[in-house]
Amino acid sequence: DQQVKQNSPSLSVQEGRISILNCDYTNSMFDYFLWYKKYPAEGPTFLISISSIKDKNEDGRFTVFLNKSAKHLSLHIVPSQPGDSAVYFCAASAWYGGSQGNLIFGKGTKLSVKP
């Protein structure tokens, strides 16, 4: 049973436009969410995170939105650049027994930004 779901395996966007990557989760105990970016044959790179006490976090061209009632988060990239082409993973964790639990990852969405 997948607790973190990325239902779109791939997304294609024109350079300069907005990329929106979506992620849904089922565990209402999740209180910390992260996005990672991964190029082929490399380790994932941490992009941006958000705590459940917020509904938006912004870092340069990257913004993450959290809708707790819908158990949904999204990553917006504006403007999209060809170098953003990669696989994006959504991850979540919950606070258990005095510490943050392990990350649960989605299966990833492959973003292609076309020049």
Stretch that binds other proteins, among 15-23, 41-49, 56-64, 76-84 (CB under 8 A): 41-49
Name the minimum Å distance from CB 90 to other proteins: 9
DSSP string, 32-70: EEEEEEE-TTS--EEEEEEETT-SEEEETTEEEEEETTT
Return the residue of 11, 15, 32, 62 that touches other proteins, per CB under 8 A: 32
> Residue for token digits 């009632």?
69
- Quote the CA–CA distance of 46 and 43 in Å, as a whole number: 10
- Quote the CA–CA distance of 90 and 94 in Å, as a whole number: 14
x/- mask, other proteins, residues 49-88, rule CB under 8 A, reads x---------------------------------------
Residue number with CB closer to other proteins (5 or 76): 5
* Of 19, 16, 17, residue with least CA distance to 37: 19
103: contact with other proteins by CB under 8 A: yes
Phi, psi of 111 (to 5 degrees): -100, 130
Stretch that binds other proteins, among 10-18, 38-46, 66-74, 76-84 (CB under 8 A): 38-46
Residues that bind other proteins (CB under 8 A): 32, 34, 36, 41-46, 49, 89, 93, 99-103, 105-108
